[in-house]
Structure 1
């Protein structure tokens, strides 16, 4: 059984692809620690090494590697950081569970156990689909419809595991960062 871990200073910022997460996290990273997105790192690594763990190649291998690395990242941050100051994660390991649902892949008991027992702050910041800023790139190949579905599934997944969804408004990056920080200050 996986031991309970609660990290109230670990904040997840998530959402579908192309919603401005990276830009928001870059802004927050000026004053706070940021944990980069595992999925993008994994895709770049696999592309550079002609690997098969890619969402358009071997989705299940990609899912397993993404989950394992997300768990490892969570643990490393927990062991090596100041527990008092907020730390922002560009997606959490529950995003992998959402991905598994989207691709209709098995969600193992191990994955469920981590999701139930290793906890981020109860408030998860989610950025809604925003077509005016949406773009694809070498790591992001989803179309707009898939981006909207990902947002919906992400909200469902985090809610299912007991998190409060805090939707970040479609505003300037400064206003979005201020919104996130004000919510944290209130201990929402």
Structure 2
């Protein structure tokens, strides 16, 4: 059973990682995002599994990362909040206009999370770029939309995060997790 695994998804620059870090400071178990770490590693070693070099290979490496994260988190009994999940790989390929291979669809169907998925919507006020995040505002908005569509198509319920400070977002997520687990 994987009802204790909760996903935070959305476009780049929407506050996902800041929220995950705040939840970790509150004592919740968390799993980091694949994309940023993969980009850092690939740049460091001169690899090509990068969104600006080979998007299909980047997606395959993300899939491997997310499968490992899912396996590791599934072995825990505590709630785990994950910075993206396996379906994000499907969403990424869809956003890029690339075919979604059958094995990625199958992984998304087989490796499930709690049906409550948190979406960090595009938020103009906090959106920024950095060395790993090169998407523009339009792509950030489109990413959030595609991720919501992808998770919904797989039977998940999307819960939009409020556009508020990190502490209030963390309060919202912890209350929503308790509700989803029936711990009101």
Q: Same fold (TM over 0.5)?
A: yes
- Corresponding position of 2:128: 135
1:77 is displaced (CA, Å) by 2.4
Which residue pairs with 1:179 in the alignment?
Answer: 172
- Pairing 1:54–2:54 present: no
Query: What is the root-mean-square deviation of aligned Cα atoms in Å?
Result: 1.0
Aligned pair 1:74/2:70, yes or no?
A: yes
User: Aligned residue for 1:116?
Assistant: 109
For residues 179 and 68 of structure 2, the distance between their equivalents in structure 1, rounded to whole angstroms, comes to 30
**What secondary structure is seen at the aligned counterpart in 1 of 2:125?**
helix
Q: Distance in 1 between matches of 2:103 and 2:132?
A: 27
Task: Identify the match of residue 21 of structure 1 among 6, 16, 24.
Answer: 16
Count of paired positions: 180
Q: Secondary structure at the match of 1:119?
A: coil
Gaps spanning 5+ residues in structure 2: where? Answer: none
Q: Name 1:7's counterpart in structure 2.
A: 2
Name the CA distance, whole Å, in 2 between partners of 1:59 and 1:111: 14
Q: State how far apart, in whole Å, the 2-side matches of 1:90 and 1:106 are.
A: 24
Q: Deviations over 1:90-141 (max 9, x none)?
A: 0001111000101121211111111112110000000110011100001100
Q: Deviations over 1:147-167 (max 9, x none)?
A: 000010010000000000000
Are positions 1:98 and 2:91 aligned together? yes
Q: Residue 5 of structure 2 contacts residue 73 of structure 2 at CA under 8 Å; is this kept in 1?
A: no
Which residue in 1 is equivalent to 2:140?
147
Work out the CA distance in 2 between the residues paired with 1:142 and 1:149. 10
Moved over 6 A (4+): none
Q: TM-score, normalised by structure 1?
A: 0.93
Task: Find the aligned partners of 1:46 and 1:69 in 2 and give their Cα distance.
Answer: 13
Q: Find the aligned partners of 1:112 and 1:139 in 2 and give their Cα distance.
A: 26
Alpha-carbon distance in structure 2 between the residues aligned to 1:137 and 1:165: 27
Shift of 1:179: 0.5
Shift of residue 76, structure 1, vs aligned partner: 2.2
How does the TM-score come out when normalised to structure 2?
0.95
Q: Does 1:88 align with 2:88?
A: no
